[in-house]
Amino acid sequence: MKNQIRFFKSQINKITTQHYQNSQIQRKNFVSLHPISNIIRILYKMTLQQEIQRRRTFAIIAHPDAGKTTLTEKLLLFGGAIHIAGAVKSNKIKKSATSDWMEIEKQRGISVATSVMGFEYNNHKINILDTPGHQDFAEDTYRTLTAVDSVIIVVDVAKGVETQTRKLMEVCRMRNTPVMIFVNKMDREGKDPFDILDELEEELKIAVRPLTLPIDSGERFKGVYNLYQNSLDLYQPSKQIVSESINIDIHSSELEKHIGDSLAKTLREEAELVTEVYPEFDREAYLAGKLAPVFFGSALTTFGVKELLDCFIEIAPSPKPVQAEERVVNPYEEALTGFIFKIHANMDPNHRSCIAFVKICSGKFERNVNYKHVRFNRLMKFSSPTAFMAQKKEILDEAFAGDIVGLPDNGNFKIGDTITSGENLHFKGLPSFSPEMFKYIENADPMKSKQLQRGIDQLMDEGVAQLFTNQFNGRKIIGTVGQLQFEVIQYRLLHEYGAQCRWEPVNLYKACWIESDNAAQLADFKKRKFQYMAHDKDGRDVFLAESSYILMMAQQDFKDIKFHFNSEF
Ligand code: G4P
C-alpha cells in the first residue's frame, strides 16, 4: 500500500510540477481536476488520517523537583531516543533533555526554555512538550498547555500536591485537558497511597481512578499491581530498565508466592476498596478531562514508567479539533493550519535568530511550500523548518497535525500568529494571565531609545512578559510572574538590542481586563480611575488595581463591569 501511494504521489508530482512550479495552492486545484486524482485523494487522506491518529502530543507538569526531568528521560529511553544504561542521570543528558541553549540558562543553571522532544514508540509518534520548572516562567507553561492534547502530572509521594501543580491544573481544567497522574518516588517513604488519592482529588479538583496500586513503599517497596492489565510488576532496585511483569489474577494464590501472605491480603483489600470507592475507569470521562487515571512508580529506578507509557499511548487522545475564531478546525482536514505558541530566542548562541514553535492543528506541513502568514496576509515558505527528535534538532520535510515544527524567525512572528494553506483563520486560546509583579521600565541610555523600544516590542511579542501602557502618563509597565523575568528582560535588552533599562517600583496588585454592556458605567469608571487605566499590547482596556481591597471596592461599586483576570474572556 505504501509503495502504491508513493508511486501515485511521484506521478502526480511529476505532472503537476511541469505545469505549476512551486505553488501548492494551485497544485491542489490541479489535482482535483485530474482523472486519477480521486484515488490519490482517498489514499492520501488515509495516510494523513493514520499519521495524525498515531500522534500523542502532551506535556509533563510538576512542581519543581517532583521528578519531571527524570520521567522525561525515562520516556525518551523507552522510545530509544536516548541510550543510557542505569538510572543515574548524567548532567549531559539532563541538559540535552531540557534544551539548555540560552546563555542565561547556562549562567543560572535553570531551564527557562520550553522545548519539544519527539520520539517513536510502538508505532506512535510521541511529542513531549517540556515546560520550565521555574515558577517565574509559569506564563510560558500556560501557553505550552494550549499546544498539547493531554498532560501527565508528576507528584512526589512524600510532598503530595504542591502549589505549582495546583496552578497548572487550573489551566488544564479551563481547557478540559485530559490528565494522567504519576505518583513518583515510591522507592522513598511517603504518604499513604489512599491519602495521596484523596489529596489529588481534593486539591486538583478532579475525580481520580488508580490504575496501579503500590505494594508497600520506601525500603519495603515491592512493586505495583496493575489493575488495568491484571498483572503484578515486581520492583527490583538492581534491575533498573524494565520491571518484571507477571500476569496474575489478584485472587490467585500465586500472588502470595511473590509478595507474601500479609502484603497479598492487604493488596486484595485495597483493590476491593478501589472498586467500591472509585468510579470505574471510563475513557470518555478521561478524555473529557473529568477523570484522571493514577499510576504509582519511581522514575529514578525506571519503575512503573513503561506501564504509564503503554497505557498512555492506548488511552491518550490523538490531536483534537481546535476552536478558531471563525470555526472549529478538524485535525484531519487536508489544508494546513497551525499557530505559534512559543518563540525561543538564541537557541544557537552562534546565531542570534529566534525559533518560532508552531503547533500544527490540521493537515500536513511541508518544507518549501507556500503558506499564508495570516496577520501579514502574505505567503511565506520555509526552507529549513526543524523537528525536535529527542535532544536533536533536525530539518524536516513534512509534519502532521499534532506535531510541533520550529521555524527560524527573524522577527516575523508573534505569539498567537496563524499560518494556513490560504484560509484566514485566527486561533483562540492563548490567554494572558494577570501578572503577579509589576515594574516601570525606564530607559537608562538616552542614546539607545529606539533600540530599547524595538527590544521591548519584540520581547513582548515573544511573550517574555506583558506590557501595559498607562493611559494617563504614557509610562510603560512590565508585568511578570516572577522576579527572574525582569532579570531576563534586562539581560536580553542589553545583549541582543544593545539597550539599557532601569526598573522603578510601582505598587500594583493585579491587572484586570474590563468590559461592560453598560457604556455609561464603563465611561464613568474609566474617568474615575484614569490614573490606573492602561492599554495592553493589543490596545485593550486594563484596570491596574493597587490592592485587593481597591479591586473589591471597584467590583462592588461598578456592578455592571466585568473584571477578568485573564485576557481570554
Ligand atoms: P524536576 O525536573 O521535576 O525538577 O525533578 P528532577 O527530575 O530533576 O528530580 C529531582 C530530584 O528527585 C533529583 O535528585 C532526582 O534524581 C530525584 N528523583 C526523581 N525521581 C525519583 C524517584 O523516583 N525516586 C527517588 N528516590 N528520587 C527521584 P537530585 O539529587 O536533586 O538531582 P540529581 O543529582 O539526581 O540530578
Nine cell digits for residue 449: 531609545
* Same-domain pairing of 110 and 205: yes
* Same-domain pairing of 47 and 69: no
Query: In this model, does residue 173 exceed pLDDT 80?
Result: yes
Between 103 and 150, the higher pLDDT residue: 150
* Same-domain pairing of 160 and 196: yes
Alpha helices in 54-192, H assignment, sequence order = 68-78, 91-98, 103-108, 138-145, 163-174
Question: Which has the closest alpha carbon to 8: 244, 29, 34?
Answer: 34
pLDDT tens-digit map of 525-545: 999 999 999 999 888 899 999
Ligand 1, atom 19: closest residue by C-alpha: 67
Residue after which a domain boundary falls, among 364, 393, 420: 420
Q: Is 199 domain-assigned?
A: yes
Q: Is 249 domain-assigned?
A: no
Residue after which a domain boundary falls, among 37, 52, 67: 52
Which residues share a beta bridge with 562?
515
Number of domains in the chain: 4
Question: Which has the closest alpha carbon to 465: 488, 495, 494?
Answer: 488
Ligand 1, atom 26: closest residue by C-alpha: 185
* Same-domain pairing of 21 and 87: no
Cβ atoms of 324 and 331 within 8 Å: the answer is no
User: Helix, strand or coil for residue 137?
Assistant: helix
Cα 249 to Cα 225, 236, 428, 479, distances in angstroms: 10, 21, 48, 56
d(CA 31, CA 357): 30
pLDDT at position 495, please? 82
Q: Is 75 domain-assigned?
A: yes
pLDDT at position 46, please? 65
Between 402 and 569, the higher pLDDT residue: 402
Ligand 1 centroid to residue 491 C-alpha, Å: 30
pLDDT at position 420, please? 96
Q: Is 266 domain-assigned?
A: no
pLDDT tens-digit map of 1-11: 445 545 555 55
Ligand 1 centroid to residue 161 C-alpha, Å: 16
- Supply the Cα-derived Rg of the chain in whole angstroms: 26
pLDDT at position 247, please? 80
φ, ψ for residue 551, nearest 5 deg: -65, -45
pLDDT at position 524, please? 94
* Same-domain pairing of 60 and 176: yes
pLDDT at position 95, please? 40
Q: Is 275 domain-assigned?
A: no
Q: Is 234 domain-assigned?
A: no
Q: Is 198 domain-assigned?
A: yes
pLDDT tens-digit map of 438-484: 999 999 998 899 999 989 988 888 888 899 999 988 999 999 887 87
Cβ atoms of 294 and 199 within 8 Å: the answer is no
Helix (H) or strand (E) holding 277: helix 261-277
d(CA 345, CA 99): 12
* Same-domain pairing of 71 and 45: no
pLDDT at position 362, please? 96
Give the number of the atom of ligand 1 that is nearest the alpha carbon of residue 70.
Answer: 7
* Same-domain pairing of 300 and 326: no
pLDDT tens-digit map of 363-381: 999 999 999 999 999 999 9
Ligand 1 centroid to residue 502 C-alpha, Å: 37
pTM of the model: 0.78
pLDDT at position 232, please? 85
Q: Is 267 domain-assigned?
A: no
Ligand 1 centroid to residue 88 C-alpha, Å: 10
Maximum average pLDDT range among 30-44, 145-159, 430-444: 145-159
| Confidence class for position 415, pLDDT limits 50, 70, 90 | confident
Out of 75-89, 279-293, 458-472, which region has the weakest mean confidence (pLDDT)?
A: 75-89
Cβ atoms of 56 and 316 within 8 Å: the answer is yes
pLDDT at position 93, please? 36
| Confidence class for position 88, pLDDT limits 50, 70, 90 | very low
pLDDT at position 502, please? 94
Question: Which has the closest alpha carbon to 31: 47, 48, 8, 49?
Answer: 8
Query: In this model, does residue 223 exceed pLDDT 90?
Result: no
* Same-domain pairing of 105 and 188: yes
Query: In this model, does residue 189 exceed pLDDT 70?
Result: yes
| Confidence class for position 51, pLDDT limits 50, 70, 90 | very high
d(CA 195, CA 160): 9
* Same-domain pairing of 394 and 496: no
Query: In this model, does residue 100 exceed pLDDT 80?
Result: no
Ligand 1, atom 33: closest residue by C-alpha: 89
Average of per-residue pLDDT values in the chain: 82
| Residue 556 neighbours by CB under 8 Å, 6+ apart | none
Question: How far is Cα of residue 401 from the mean position of the Cα atoms in its chain?
Answer: 15
Ligand 1 proximal residues by C-beta, below 6 Å:
62, 64-70, 89, 133, 184-185, 187-188, 298-300
Nine cell digits for residue 130: 517540556
* Same-domain pairing of 48 and 58: no
Mean pLDDT over 202-230 rounds to 89
Task: Specify the CATH number for the domain of residue 407.
Answer: 3.40.50.300
Give the number of the atom of ligand 1 that is nearest the alpha carbon of residue 89.
Answer: 36
* Same-domain pairing of 307 and 159: yes
- Most informative mutation of 60, 61, 65, 130 for ligand 1 (most atoms within 8 A of CB): 65
pLDDT at position 346, please? 59
| Residue 155 neighbours by CB under 8 Å, 6+ apart | 62, 63, 66, 161, 162, 165, 181, 182, 183, 184, 196, 200
CB atoms within 10 A of CB 258: 16
User: Which residue carries 481544567 as its cell?
Assistant: 173
pLDDT at position 242, please? 56
Mean pLDDT over 514-520 rounds to 93
pLDDT tens-digit map of 227-256: 888 888 888 765 455 566 778 888 888 888
Task: Specify the CATH number for the domain of residue 489.
Answer: 3.30.70.3280
pLDDT at position 85, please? 40
Mean pLDDT over 60-85 rounds to 79
For residue 467, what are the domain limits?
A: 437-564
Ligand 1 centroid to residue 298 C-alpha, Å: 10
Mean pLDDT over 214-223 rounds to 87
Out of 92-96, 203-207, 287-291, 472-476, which region has the weakest mean confidence (pLDDT)?
A: 92-96
User: Helix, strand or coil for residue 438?
Assistant: strand
Ligand 1 centroid to residue 219 C-alpha, Å: 17
Residue after which a domain boundary falls, among 420, 453, 488: 420
Ligand 1 centroid to residue 159 C-alpha, Å: 13
Ligand 1 centroid to residue 196 C-alpha, Å: 19
Ligand 1, atom 34: closest residue by C-alpha: 89
Ligand 1, atom 30: closest residue by C-alpha: 65
Mean pLDDT over 341-351 rounds to 66
d(CA 462, CA 415): 6
Nine cell digits for residue 122: 510502538
* Same-domain pairing of 406 and 350: yes
User: Which residue carries 466585568 as its cell?
Assistant: 562
Out of 148-152, 296-300, 321-325, 344-348, which region has the weakest mean confidence (pLDDT)?
A: 344-348
Give the number of the atom of ligand 1 that is nearest the alpha carbon of residue 63.
Answer: 3
